[in-house]
Amino acid sequence: MRGSQSARLVGHHFLDRRGFLQHSVHAASAVGLLATLSADGDLQAAEPIRPQIDPGKPFAARPTHHRPVAKRLLVIFCSGACSQIDTFDHKPELIRRHGQPMPGGEGLVTFQGEQGALTKSPWAFRPRGQSGKMISDLVPRIGELADDLCFLHGMTSKTNTHGPGENFMSTGFTLDGFPSVGSWVTYALGSENQNLPAFVAIPDPRGTPQSSVNNWGPGFLPAAFQGTAFNAAQPILNLDRPVGISKLSDRRARETLSRLNHIHLERYGGDTELAARISSYELAAKMQLTVPGISDLTSESVETLELYGANDNQNPMKAKFARNCILARRLLENDVRVVQLYNGAYQTGGEGVSNWDGHKQLEKQYSIHGPVLDQPVAGLLRDLKQRGLMDDTIVMWCTEFGRMPTFQKGASGRDHNPAGFTCWLTGAGVKTPYSFGATDEFGYRAVEKATTVYDLYATVLHLLGLNHERLSFYHNGIERRLTDVHGHVIRDVLA
């Protein structure tokens, strides 16, 4: 090579004969390994699974991706961010250092401002059940069921704001417009009861959560998969027959309308929107017959009402929430696929009064909320178990994020904390009694086996027989998932 050419090639790397042969051998080995793994199925692409849905029968039961452990899901959502430190996450060090500054927290500013001293819970923690799990006196009846619960103590969120936090817990995204978990599950699996909605949301008797219908909305999924919202005190509107119309006349009118609709559909057989519209009208007609019976609790025994606290005249709000819990059980035993049960509602100017947002007077506020939640939820869990419904139902208790181990400066309550909080699972396929993950010594930050909402829903979908990485809907050029591009099944919590 001439000098001028050599000068131009200074700094460039060339393979000599030996290097070329070494690279060739490595490449051939890699190709062989890939071929072997591919033959074994270890590198098969996770192709999206988009269920085939008949627009005329959008709620027809559909097959799972793998053998399911459960066929129903109950979500109990404490709106307002229920404090883990005052319920299920026992921190002895917080008691020992009560009134002291939090180490490393100097100058810490959270959602509503600067933080004060570490503050122990106003409620004592005691060992519960045979497992001895430490649970607060704020929820003693739920504590009695400690041996049936699987706690996720290392939960984390992406936001410290209620609306986006509720969105994230319900949909996997902080923004509005994404499908809720109930919508994803009913999109994937349909329903085993064609006379009731596949997905029901039961708002708190005091109103809706802060993110309102986003919590049970369908987002970009077909509108058929939106949750139907009603509770024991407020049944679905416009289901009653008009005054002066007999049952016989009403039935004949529905039958005639059904015949006419299907003649029309046959004429326009390729119109999926028409088929979906007719299907929704027919479901509404079926609900006219079935929902009033489901929501009428007069047939419940006195023993059942007492179990839930539904006849507690001293605490009317507890009695109302207890009736919602009974409604949840009745829906589940009639094979409604997903039920979301809300405890706590958002009221402008009513901070902490109607939900778990305990910023200013935590002890006073939680002393109201604790009894409303405790007996009805414990009664619901006991009732589901004694009726055998826990054998194929997953129950998930959650809240949008947690609370600080400190009190806010100038207040007697805890600020928002997305860095570490608690959720729990029970029911089909769940390991109990069990605790997974942990926050630090003060309950501030997840430090051991931290989990995300994506992990939680990957696990729930797995128990329902669905692969969270493959359940998909194509929207605006993107294969969308409940777990976005994240999440792992938490194998340790599976029975």
Residue 236 is predicted with a pLDDT of 66
Residue 111 is predicted with a pLDDT of 87
Residue 290 is predicted with a pLDDT of 77
Phi and psi at residue 186, to the nearest 5°: -75, -30
Residue 450 is predicted with a pLDDT of 98
| C-alpha span between 434 and 133 (Å, rounded) | 9
Sequential DSSP letters for 16-47: -HHHHHHHHHHHHHHHHHHHHHHHHTTT----
Residue 294 is predicted with a pLDDT of 83
Residue 100 is predicted with a pLDDT of 96
- CA angle 63/67/71 to nearest 5° reads 70
- Print pLDDT tens along the chain (495 aa): 444 444 444 444 445 665 555 656 555 555 454 444 444 434 444 789 999 988 778 899 999 999 999 999 999 999 999 999 999 999 999 999 999 999 988 878 888 889 999 999 999 999 999 999 999 999 999 999 999 999 999 999 999 999 999 999 999 999 999 999 999 999 999 999 988 999 999 999 999 999 999 999 999 998 889 999 998 887 665 556 677 777 777 677 766 766 776 776 667 665 656 666 666 666 766 666 677 778 889 999 999 999 999 999 999 999 999 999 999 999 999 999 999 999 999 875 555 568 999 998 999 999 999 999 999 999 999 999 999 999 999 999 999 999 999 999 989 999 999 999 999 999 999 999 999 999 999 999 999 999 999 999 999 999 999 999 999 999 999 999 999 999 999 999 999
β-bridge mates for residue 424, sequence order: 151, 397
3-state secondary structure string, 320-386?
A: HHHHHHHHHHHHHHCCCCEEEEEECCCCCCCCCCCCCCCCCEHHHHHHHHHHHHHHHHHHHHHHHHH
How far, CA to CA in Å, does 39 sit from each of 42, 117, 470? Answer: 8, 60, 20
Task: Domain 72-236+301-493: state its class.
Answer: alpha beta
What residues contact 130, with CB distance under 8 A and at least 6 apart? 147, 433
Residue 270 is predicted with a pLDDT of 59
| C-alpha span between 465 and 85 (Å, rounded) | 34
| C-alpha span between 211 and 317 (Å, rounded) | 22
Query: Please, what is the end-to-end C-alpha distance for the chain in angstroms?
Result: 71
Phi and psi at residue 72, to the nearest 5°: -135, 155
| C-alpha span between 328 and 338 (Å, rounded) | 10
| C-alpha span between 80 and 147 (Å, rounded) | 27
